[in-house]
Chain A
Amino acid sequence: MKTGAKILIEALQREGVDTIFGYPGGSVLPIYDELYDSSIRHILVRHEQAAAHAADGYARASGRVGVCLATSGPGACNLVTGIATAYMDSVPVVALTGQVPTGMLGNDAFQESDITGITMPVTKHNYLVKNGADLAGVIREAFYVAGTGRPGPVLVDLPKDVTTNQVTAERPLPPEICLRGYQPTYQGHVRQIDKALSLIAEAARPVIYAGGGVVLSNASAELVAFAERAAIPVTTTLMGLGCVPCDHPLNLGMLGMHGTPAANYAITECDLLLAVGVRFDDRVTGKIEAFAPNATIVHIDIDPAEIGKNKPVDVPIVGDVRMVLQAMLERMQKHGETNGWRTRVADWKKRYPIGFPDDDNLRPQYIIRQLSDILKGEGIVVSEVGQNQMWTALHYCFTKPRTWLTSGGLGTMGYGFPAAIGAHYARPDMPVVDIAGDGSFQMNIQELGTVAQYDIPVKVVVLNNMYLGMVRQWQELFYDRRYSYTELPPVDFVKIAQAYGIDGIRVEEKEAVREALETALTTDGPFVLDFRIEREENVFPMAPAGAAINEMIGVHRK
C-alpha cells in the first residue's frame, strides 16, 4: 500500500521527469513530503506564474514535457497566465495543482477554486482525480495528451485526500494509451501531397511560410532540405525563427506586422504559398484579404481545425510537419523554375535590409546585434513581450530551432525571465539570455530570488527606456503622442540585483556594450545588465493594425 502522493511521484519518474517548478502550500503538503526524498529536482520559484513559465521554457528548449506544481486556490489560479501562454503557443506542459479534499469540493472551502473549470478554455485537456487508484493512469494519459498531436498544456487537479490516503488497489497501467476521442493524424494524405508537389512544381513565385509547428515537430532539417531542393524562399513567423538559419540565402526573415519588407512583399506577390505549421495569426496576416491575395495555398498542419480557420486553403494536408515534409522530399519529382523570382526576392532583401541609425546613441538594435555576434547561435535567447521582443526577432541571428523562446500567441509580459530559468534546466550546457524591457522585467522581477538561490546563470539584458515601449510607440503613431500611463519612473536594476546578491552593470554608452555583454556571459551565475537606451526608439518596419502587410511604414532603404 502506498499513498497517492507516492504513486504520483513514481508516475512522474516513470515519465522521465527530472525537474519540477513549483511553490508549496497546504493542499500539496503530501506531495512535497514525497518530493523531499525523491530524485526529482524541485525549483522553488517566487510566484506560481513563474513556475508555469519555467515549465514552458523547459519544454520549448528541450522538446520534452515541462512540469509545474502549485497548491490549491490562489496557487492554482496564479498558474493560469502561464498555462494560457503555453496553450496559445502549443507547448507541452503538465500542471499539477493541489485541491481541497474531495469531501469539501464545491463548499467554497479555504483555498478552494474550481481550477479545472477555470482552465478549461486554456488547456488541451484537464483532469480532476477523485480516486487514488486512477492516479497513475491519469498521469500517464496527461503526459501523453500534452506531448502528442498538437502539443499543449494539461492540468491535473489533485484533492488532498487523494494524495494523502493509502491506495489499496492500484490499477495496472495499460501497455499503451488508446483514447477513442483522441487519434492525431501524423501521416499526410498521399494524394494531397502529390497534388501539392505538382502545384509547387508549376508555381513561378512560390514562398514557404513556416511557423512554430516546424519547431515543435523538430522538422527544421526537412524544411531546409525541401526549400533548397525546390529552390523556394522561406519566411518564418515569430514562433518559427531559428528553423531556417537567419543567414541562409533562401531565408527572408520574419513576416507580418513587424516583418521584413522582403518577406511581406514576397507574400503579397507569391502565386503559391506553402504554409507549414502555422495558423494565419492576425499579427502575421494583417488585413486577411490582402494576405497572399494571388496565391494557391497549401497548408500543412497537425491540427485540422487550423486549416481554413482564417483563410481558405486550396490543398489541406493534415499531419505531422516533419513526416509530411519527409514524404514530400521522397515523392518530389520535378523542381519548379524559380530563378527569376528568387532574383527579385534577393533584390528586395538587398534594397530593404533591417537597419537602424548607426550613430553614437545607445540603441537597442546595436545591443542585440552585439549579443548575436558574441553568441553566434550558441545560446538560448528568451524575450519578454513588446519592443524588446520585436527588436530581438529582427536583429538577432537565430541559426537553430529551440534557441528562441518567446510568448507569441498570448503576448505575455513577464514570460521571459522565468522561461529562461526553465531553459537553463533543459539545456544546462547553453548560455541563456533574457532580453527584457523595463516594463516586462518588473512583471516577474521577484524571480531574481530564484536565480540567486540556485545560482542559475541566466543573464538579463534590460533594454531600459523607462516606458512601456511598444504601447508608447502605438501612442506616438496612432494616438497623437498622448502617452497615457506608459511612462515608468527610472529603476536602478543593478541595485535591485545587488539586493538579491546578484551582480549587475548599468550601461549608458555605446562603447561599453560589448564589454558589458562579455562580462555578463563570462561571469558565473546570474547577471543583470541595465542598458539605458534611446527612450523613444521605435520598432520598424511596421504594418499598422488592419493594414495589408506590404503597407509598411519605417522601411529602411539602402
Chain B
Amino acid sequence: MKSHTLSVLVENRAGVLSRVAGMFSRRGFNIESLAVGTCEEPNMSRITIVVNGDDVQIEQVMKQANKLIEVIKVSDITERESVDRELALIKVAAEPGTSRAEIMQIADIFRAQIVDVGTKTLLLQVVGNTSKIDALETLLRQYGIKELVRTGKIAMLRGSKTVKSAK
C-alpha cells in the first residue's frame, strides 16, 4: 500500500467531479487528497487525486475511472519525474511580543509568507510538497494553530512531457 498520484483529465462540465469522486468512494478507494481546476484547454479540467492502494487496486481504480464517459485520460505519475505542490493557509496564535518573532523566523525558513497579521494571530501562506507543509504544520502546532486549510496536491510532469488526451 502506498500513495499514488493520479492526474485525471476530464470534460469541464457540471457533475463530472461528483462522478469521479463518487466512483472512488463507491468502489471503496480512499481519496487522500483531491484538487481540481481548469487547465490549458477551456473545455477540460484536470483533477489531481492522491489515493492509497497496492498496484492491483490502483490499476483497477484507473480502469474504472477511464470507463467514465467524461474522463478523457488517467495517468499515474507517482513513479515519474514530476513536480508536486500544495498550498496551505495556516492561522497561528501569536500574542504580540511573545512568540511572534519565532513564528516569523520559522516562516522565513520555510519560505512561507505572512499574508495577514491580527492582534493575536498570524496568517501564513506556504507552498510546497506535502512533506514540507506537514513539517511546518508540526512546528507551528506548539504555538497553537487556530485554523488550517490545504488545497490538496497538484502535480505536473517535468520537462516537455505532458499528460494530454491521447484519444
Contacts and interface: CB of A to CB of B under 8 A. Distances in A.
A308 B56 contact: yes
A180 interface: yes
Contacts of B70: 125, 181
Given A304-B63, A305-B64, A121 B26 contact: yes
A183 B67 CA distance: 9
A interface bracket (residues with beta carbon within 8 Å of B):
10 to 19
B60 A305 contact: yes
Interface stretch (B11-19, B84-92, B113-121, B149-157): B11-19
Nearest to A303: B67
Contacts of A182: 69
Interface in B1-60: 10-11, 15, 18-19, 22-23, 26, 56, 59-60
B71 interface: yes
Interface string B141-161: 000000000000000000000
A305 B167 contact: no
A125 B15 contact: no
B66 interface: yes
A306 to B, nearest CB: 9
B67 A305 contact: yes
A121 B22 contact: yes
26 contacts: A116-B15, A120-B19, A121-B23, A121-B26, A125-B69, A125-B70, A128-B15, A180-B72, A180-B165, A180-B167, A181-B10, A181-B11, A181-B69, A181-B70, A181-B71, A181-B167, A182-B69, A183-B167, A303-B67, A304-B63, A304-B66, A305-B60, A305-B63, A305-B67, A308-B60, A309-B60
A371 interface: no
Nearest to B59: A308
A87 to B, nearest CB: 12
B106 interface: no
A125 B67 CA distance: 10
A117 B11 contact: no
Interface string A111-130: 00000110011001100100
A363 B63 CA distance: 46
A381 B63 CA distance: 35
A147 B48 CA distance: 31
Interface in B60-85: 60, 63-64, 66-72
Interface string A145-189: 100000000000000000000000000000000011111000000
Contacts of A303: 67
A305 B64 CA distance: 6
Contacts of B63: 304-305
Contacts of B165: 180
Contacts of A179: 69
Contact of B66 (A128, A145, A305): A305
Contacts of B15: 116, 128
B69 A120 contact: no
